[in-house]
Amino acid sequence: MQTTNHILMIRPVDFKFNEQTAGNNKFQNASTETNVQTAALKEFDAFVDLLRKNNVDVKVVDDTLQPETPDSIFPNNWVSFHEDGSVYLYPMFSENRRLERRIEILDGLRENFEVNHITDLSFYEKQYAFLEGTGSMVLDRTNKIAYACLSVRTDEEVLNNFSMLTGYEPVAFQAVDETNFPIYHTNVMMCIGDCFAVICLDSIKNPEEKLNVTISLKGAGKEIIEISLEQMNKFAGNMLQVTNAENESLLVMSEQAYLSLNAEQIAALEQYSRIIYAPLYIIEKNGGGSARCMLAEIHLPSKL
């Protein structure tokens, strides 16, 4: 299935602007807030409340003060969970983000979910090659296609190895912002739902690559809902479709992303999902990531 009702989120204890990631994440800007952690925690808790009020099962794990992990609020970059009980751990670009990989989190999930095999790809860090989970890859889980815009954080060799191990078909391409700076993560420029794809096609400058992505999406039966570069910069590509306990389809995004959409785009999305959104302005500004980045989908088989 493309979607799940089970989500892992990491509650931050020392969230702040991460100097180690800022060089290649142009969505990230230092805030003038005096206490970024307090403001971010308020946004995080309200986001969790929103998801739970909409009957999404959220597993919240508190981060620890040591080691220092300012971006731990974005767990989807270091781990992914799959329907066959497999777990993948990923090579991370910045040294302090590598510290986010915590085996005890996986051990905690074993109480309710089947974990059959853990594949650790972090050895690629020694080769300065990275693949930051479902930030680097946007997965069409139903059709087993992995879309990836290549960057310093998304290496094609690692992508191909993941694809070989999982049976996914890789669709790699280059994507840039309005200044031709490479987009650091695929999940800020596209989102895959069960029957739709939100994507900033304007960010793919190579006509052949753009056509290849379009053909792949249409071949997988997705309605393409385009967003502009301006909307992408407001995190309109950083959405995640989930299901709740009543098997209702929800599309989760930030308030900033929602407000950037026009009426036609909203109507197109509402054909497939009910939209829910939360204000995440402090997290977005300082972390350079948004709602989707905060959600690690648990597709593992349930023991319950």
> What is the C-alpha R_g of the chain?
18
**Res. 256: pLDDT tops 90:** yes
Q: Which amino acid is at 1?
A: M
Give the C-alpha distances (Å, rounded to integers) separating 199 from 94, 119, 189, 231, 253: 27, 29, 6, 10, 14
Amino acid at site 107: D
Sheet holding 169-173: strands in order across?
138-140, 145-149, 169-173
Q: Could you give the CA distance from residue 288 to residue 26 in angstroms, rounded to a whole number?
A: 7
For 1-38, write each residue's pLDDT tens digit. Answer: 999 999 999 999 988 766 667 566 666 676 777 788 89
Tokens, residue 96: 């302090």
Annotate 167-187 with b (16+ C-beta within 10 A) or e (fewer).
ebebbbbebbbeeeebbbbbb
- CA dist., res. 63 & res. 73, Å (int): 8
For 200-232, the pLDDT digits (tens) are 999 999 999 999 999 999 999 999 999 999 999
**Contacts for 104 with CB less than 8 Å, ≥ 6 apart:** none
Per-residue pLDDT reduced to its tens digit, 105-141: 999 999 999 999 999 999 999 999 999 999 999 999 9
- Angle CA 294–169–269, to nearest 5: 50
Interval 265-299: pLDDT, tens? 999 999 999 999 999 999 999 998 999 999 999 99
14 CB burial (10 A radius; 0-12, 13-18, 19+) = middle
What mean pLDDT is predicted for residues 57-78? 94
CATH ID of 6-297, from 3.75.10.10, 3.90.25.10, 1.10.287.130, 1.10.10.60: 3.75.10.10
pTM value? 0.95
